[in-house]
Amino acid sequence: MKFSKILFPLFVISCTAISCSLEEEPYGFYSESNFYTNAADAEAAVTYAYDALTYLEYSRSIFTLGTIASEECYPKPDEGADIQNINNWSYGSLSNSGPLNNFFKYAYIAINRTNSVIKNIPKGNLSQSEKDAFMGEAYFLRAWNYFNLVRAFGKVPIHLEVVETLNQTSAPMAKDLDEVYNIIIADCQKSIELLKVNQRLGRIDKVGAQALLSKVYLFIASAKEHNVPLYAQMTRSVPEMYSLSAQTALAALNQSPYGFENNLLDIYDVSKPLGKENIFLLSMDRSGTAEGDYSKISKLFLPYISGSTIYLKNPSGTLTKSHDGWSTYMTEISFFNSFDNSDKRKNDLIVTKTYSASGVENAAYPATIQYPFTRKYVDPDFIGDKTSTKPFLIRYSDVALIYAEAAGPSSQSYEYVNFIRNRAGLGNLNPGLGVNKFRLAVMNERKYELAFEGNRLYDLRRFNMVSQFVPQAAGLSMEQQAFYPIPQIEIDLNENF
């Protein structure tokens, strides 16, 4: 587990924000008498809220929940039972799953930290512009974490106040999805109002808040239209949600310095974290002293190849250095084979051969390389196991596809989709598609454009198509396919359940 390097009078919460196993009153929470007195204090508090996202139990769950449970990857045979159960959709075992427990817990830790910022920033001795910036980021972070929770678990407990005493740790369950999404949407709207466009590594700006809100609207529209359990009962209008998603996405897409990269590899160049595509990345750097400050994401996707340095051939013929990996997330061969053979997202971004430093081929799939592996998470300047690879939380192409799906088959939608396809070496999308077929085509484009980035399961869920693509989920109810079970320990400890 990573521990925060930021030093100020805080108690690093060891329980969730909704339940807690401590037997004594928590101590050392934010003190209103000695904290948030100036901009430096506020900056530290907001950084602390972001810091929760980089805990390995939370950051790795992006892939454990969104990728391993889809048809993109499967875990290595000797991976632990918890990961195997998620991959196999062993629903009866998931209520006690360590990864799900941690995901749930750290989401609420992050929410509690943002609640404290929202409560205390207005009281600080800061300029209005400083307050607006910090509050805007806090509202985004609370929305981000609740959106993670609602996509994973459906109805979840609602906690909008700082946990300062033990009796505050039990929070009421939302009565329906409307209640959860009302909070998420309101927080995103506040964030958009308060923030300016200001691209920074590991931080969010107005464009990021607009991008998240467009994703939220699309999720509601799509899930309700496809009769996903609980979403089907939401009161929000499907046409209105699609319209708002398109409007909000377009606002984000029309903001400099963001835009498309012309070259696929440039998107994932670890030396260019502030490239045009990158709207929201976590701040992880190989110079960090604890995992979470630095990243081992690359080790999860790369196969084990004799423990040595390997080299990957670039389209130009040059070589990129990398370490080998742990073979934790192994590419499903059927997924690899489903790419068009002309797709650069297959040929340039998925590796089937490795080389020596002199360019001699030394390993290839399907012989000494167990599986074709993604090179989206490669750091040629790695230091041992320490890298600067980061999860791609929000990027420009994702928002462009959100716009296209939400707006339907307009000329501008085709323009965005065709740019993405053409960049990948493919021809234009079939013209003249009807709305439903067009949206399915865009969803299919997301499958390849956002591969290995933790999005796939959630796209399958909102289209109510999990069991069509993930055979392990066949036989489960629609609600079980749509939501993971809330961890049993949270149910046991929260008297409001």
At 307-330, the pLDDT tens digits run 679 999 999 999 999 999 999 999
**Separation CA 380–CA 302 (nearest Å):** 13
Locate the domains of the chain by residue range. Answer: 39-262+485-493, 284-389, 394-465
**Separation CA 25–CA 294 (nearest Å):** 33
Q: Span 443-469, mean pLDDT?
A: 98
Query: Which amino acid would we find at residue 319?
Result: L
Q: Same fold for the domain at 39-262+485-493 and the one at 394-465? A: yes
Taking the CA of residue 22 as centre, how many other CA atoms within 13 Å lie in the half-sphere pointing to its CB? 19
Query: Which amino acid would we find at residue 395?
Result: R
The first and second tokens of residue 459, run together, are: 């796209």
**Separation CA 148–CA 146 (nearest Å):** 5
**Separation CA 205–CA 137 (nearest Å):** 7
| CATH for 39-262+485-493 (3.90.230.10, 3.30.310.50, 1.10.260.40, 1.25.40.390) | 1.25.40.390
pLDDT band (50, 70, 90) for residue 447: very high
The first and second tokens of residue 23, run together, are: 């037997």
The pLDDT of residue 368 is: 86
Mean pLDDT of all residues belonging to the chain: 91
Residue 166 has pLDDT above 90, yes or no: no
Q: Span 62-88, mean pLDDT?
A: 95
The pLDDT of residue 172 is: 87
Residue 13 has pLDDT above 90, yes or no: no
Condensed to tens digits (0 to 9), the pLDDT of residues 351-377 reads 999 999 999 998 899 888 999 999 999
Condensed to tens digits (0 to 9), the pLDDT of residues 381-391 reads 999 999 999 99
pLDDT band (50, 70, 90) for residue 7: very low
Burial class (CB in 10 A: 0-12, 13-18, 19+), 174: buried
The percentage of the chain sitting over the pLDDT mark of 90, rounded to a whole number, equals 83
The pLDDT of residue 171 is: 82
Report whether 36 contacts 45 (CB < 8 A): yes
**Separation CA 245–CA 214 (nearest Å):** 4
Ranking 51-65, 72-86, 124-138, 431-445 by mean pLDDT, the lowest is 51-65
The pLDDT of residue 367 is: 81
The domain 394-465: what is its CATH number? Answer: 1.25.40.900
Report whether 469 contacts 457 (CB < 8 A): no
Phi and psi at residue 426, in whole multiples of 5°?
-105, 160
Q: Span 445-468, mean pLDDT?
A: 98
The pLDDT of residue 14 is: 37
How many residues comprise the chain?
Answer: 497
Residue 23 has pLDDT above 50, yes or no: no
Ranking 35-49, 129-143, 185-199 by mean pLDDT, the lowest is 35-49
Q: Span 336-364, mean pLDDT?
A: 95
Ranking 21-30, 135-144, 206-215, 275-284 by mean pLDDT, the lowest is 21-30
Q: Span 20-30, mean pLDDT?
A: 36
pLDDT band (50, 70, 90) for residue 56: confident
